Chains A and B, each alone.
Chain A
Amino acid sequence: MPGSLQKDVLIAVVVTALLIWLMPLLIGTYTLTVLVIYGMLGLSLGLIWGFGGILCFGQAAFFGLGAYTYAIAAINIGESTLPMILAVLVPAVFAALLGAMMFYGRLTDVYLGVITLVVTLILFKFINSTAGPQYVIGTARLGGFNGIPGFQTLNVPGDPEAYIWGDAYFYVCAIALALVYLLVSVLLRSSFGRIAVGIRENETRLSLMGYDVRARKTVLFAVGAAIAGLAGALFANWGEIVTPNLFSLGQSAEIIIWCIVGGLGTRLGPILGAAGLAYLKFLLGQQSLVDNTLITGLILVLFVLFLPRGVVPALAGLWRISFGRRPLGRIHQARRHRRRERGHG
């Protein structure tokens, strides 16, 4: 990551402000809001997969958990501030427990994939079967396949009558995404973030250097889940209903596709991948010639085969080749080094 943190923050703020001003002129804010929320969801997996090397097949579990936590808490409390906080905390705690179980058991790649996938399925099956009246938390019925409608949506903290909706809600979501983005930037620049990247590159080496790999992975996993939970709560507010489909495998698959297409190991890639593909899906949904799922699948296969690094790193590479100052290649450096030595000798 080149450039200093201040420069990074400045660029992020300016770009965000520009986008918040310009984008509503192109796309309706209702659609934009969900694109922003998906961007945040993409970023949550981009953080733990791209920088932590933890491939989670069940990021949708935390997304759904955040949404359900918000809906249930909002019905019981009737005000949205505490439910928003809970919607971040509950998935984070759940992920910390799950992560501790997996990482302290030294499970890796495929096994990690199976367990996260299975946990998502358990949640999906369980929530799907809660249609009966005996499944109640406080005054909120879980509602099974039909989900939970009619909860208190986002309001100005302290005033349950002042709803935030429409354009104002879009601004809230966009600023939330910008804040999360900055938070992720700060996290990645801290020693914690650098060590997380180190763990991704070589776990054994980092643990031999004395870092507690298991604890660090667990914490990173929980942070990712917290972001996904926030995205879930925002999504619940946007849709005004939560359904078990939030937990579905299809949702998990989509998050992974966003990250692959956008580019792993970048912060921007998953956000752009999510927003871009979700918008593409929205456009494709308006025609009936070709099935939507078919195109999504085709995109994933083609990217894995031909552009496994994703769009953003490829574009960045192209930019560097075309315009950037070329860093000296290894051969040049070695040659120059040798020449200097000869000069001295």
Chain B
Amino acid sequence: MDLSFVILVEMLYAVASLILISAGLAVVFGMMKVINLAHGEFMMMGGYATITAVNLGVNVFVAMIVIAPLVVGLIGLVVERLVIRHLYGRLVDTMLATWGLSLFFIGLATMIFGNTTTGISTPIPGFAFGDYQINGYNFFIILVSVALLVAVLFVLKATRAGLIARGAMQRADMAAALGYSPDRIYMATFFCGSALSGLAGAVLAPLVGLVPTSGGAYIAKAFITVIAGGPSLIAGLFSSASFFGVINQVFTFAISPVIGEVALLVAAVVLLRLLPQGITGSFFKGKL
């Protein structure tokens, strides 16, 4: 009984962290058809922003939820204006340019913070449940990712900005004809996507030892989750994160963490072979 509860929490946690990792990438890809391979480094910078702010004496939750997204969002804004703006509509070129950016940011972080591991302690203590110890911070991550999904859904469905963004997503030329500049919309979207990446990196920072190359661990998973999710933003993100998260945890508990990771990757290959348009390309069509 205790074990099944622990496994349930672990599964929810795996799904939640996949959603968290992929949300920023999904917003940028879903709205702008831009694959940002520097996404992992945006998360890494979110982590460093948090740790720096905490070391300067800021409350850890303020640092994670306010400062990190703002800092990374602004960096994203600069990147969009300088590089990505020139490459809209050229999918492969944006991938290559952002890959270059990712290397650039790794180098920059190494020069500023040094090639050493830094970290902060988890702000929420763990507790015992029966014979098992559960990390209390896992619940915080689940909470944040649920809040994140609800917030994105709310913004897209219920606000005027969301309406404009969805319109530009479907027909950029029509949105332009109605007087909304797609250039501005893309800029704002990229800012939001980067801020989400920063938030994810900040929230996950206490769980991992942060090094300048930490981003590499996230990018592949985020990339896979978003592509496997397919064209719908929220439905795709949720369905593919659930699928991969559950597979990962089942194999982790049954065999070992490494096999869990490998099973996730193999599942991704099989899934893309069977549904080359992603999950929402075949099911839940036309949903958000």
Contacts and interface: CB of A to CB of B under 8 A. Distances in A.
Given A125-B261, A256-B96, A305-B86, A115 B269 contact: yes
Interface string A25-50: 00000000000000000000000000
A130 to B, nearest CB: 9
Nearest to B29: A110
A113 interface: yes
Interface string B101-120: 11111111011000000000
A111 B106 CA distance: 26
Interface in B36-93: 83, 86-87, 91-93
15 contacts: A106-B276, A114-B224, A122-B265, A256-B99, A291-B107, A291-B108, A293-B104, A294-B108, A296-B103, A297-B102, A301-B83, A301-B97, A301-B100, A304-B93, A305-B83
A292 interface: yes
A249 B107 contact: no
A291 B107 CA distance: 5
Given A107-B273, A304-B97, A118 B265 contact: yes
A112 to B, nearest CB: 9
Contacts of B99: 253, 256, 300
B44 to A, nearest CB: 13
Interface string A144-172: 00000000000000000000000000000
A293 B272 CA distance: 32
A231 B35 CA distance: 31
Given A101-B273, A111-B227, A297-B107, A126 B96 contact: no
A121 B103 contact: no
B236 to A, nearest CB: 14
A175 interface: no
A294 B227 contact: no
B186 to A, nearest CB: 17
A106 B273 CA distance: 9
A301 B265 contact: no
Contacts of A300: 96-97, 99-100, 103
A293 B211 CA distance: 14
A278 to B, nearest CB: 15
Contacts of A117: 220, 223
Contacts of A118: 220, 224, 265, 268-269
Nearest to B33: A110
A203 to B, nearest CB: 15
B152 interface: no
B272 A301 contact: no
A129 interface: yes
A74 B96 CA distance: 37
A301 B96 CA distance: 8
Interface of A: 55, 101-102, 105-107, 109-111, 113-115, 117-119, 121-122, 125-126, 128-129, 249-250, 253, 256-257, 260, 290-301, 304-305, 308
B266 interface: yes
A297 B265 contact: no
B143 interface: no
Nearest to B79: A301
A55 B94 CA distance: 14
Contacts of A256: 96, 99
Nearest to A128: B258
Given A294-B107, A297-B103, A109 B92 contact: yes
B262 A304 contact: no
A339 B99 CA distance: 53
Contacts of A291: 107-108, 110-111
B227 A110 contact: yes
A250 B91 CA distance: 21
A308 B92 CA distance: 11
Given A296-B103, A300-B100, A115 B258 contact: no
B103 A110 contact: no
Contacts of A304: 87, 93, 96-97, 100
B216 interface: yes
B95 interface: yes
A80 to B, nearest CB: 32
Given A304-B97, A305-B83, A115 B107 contact: no
B104 A294 contact: yes
Interface string B213-234: 0001000100110010000000
B272 A107 contact: yes
Max chain B CB contacts within 10 Å: which of A109, A111, A304?
A304
Given A105-B273, A125-B262, A249 B220 contact: yes
B268 A114 contact: yes
A128 B102 CA distance: 23
A338 to B, nearest CB: 38
Contacts of B273: 101-102, 105, 107, 115
A126 B268 CA distance: 16
B216 A114 contact: no
Contacts of A122: 262, 265-266
A125 B258 contact: yes
B96 to A, nearest CB: 5
A116 to B, nearest CB: 10
B51 to A, nearest CB: 20
Contact of B96 (A101, A260, A290, A294): A260
Contact of B91 (A110, A257, A260): A110
A105 B216 CA distance: 28
A297 B104 contact: yes
Contacts of A115: 269, 272-273
A308 B93 contact: yes
Contact of A297 (B95, B106, B111): B106
Contacts of B91: 109-110
B103 A114 contact: no
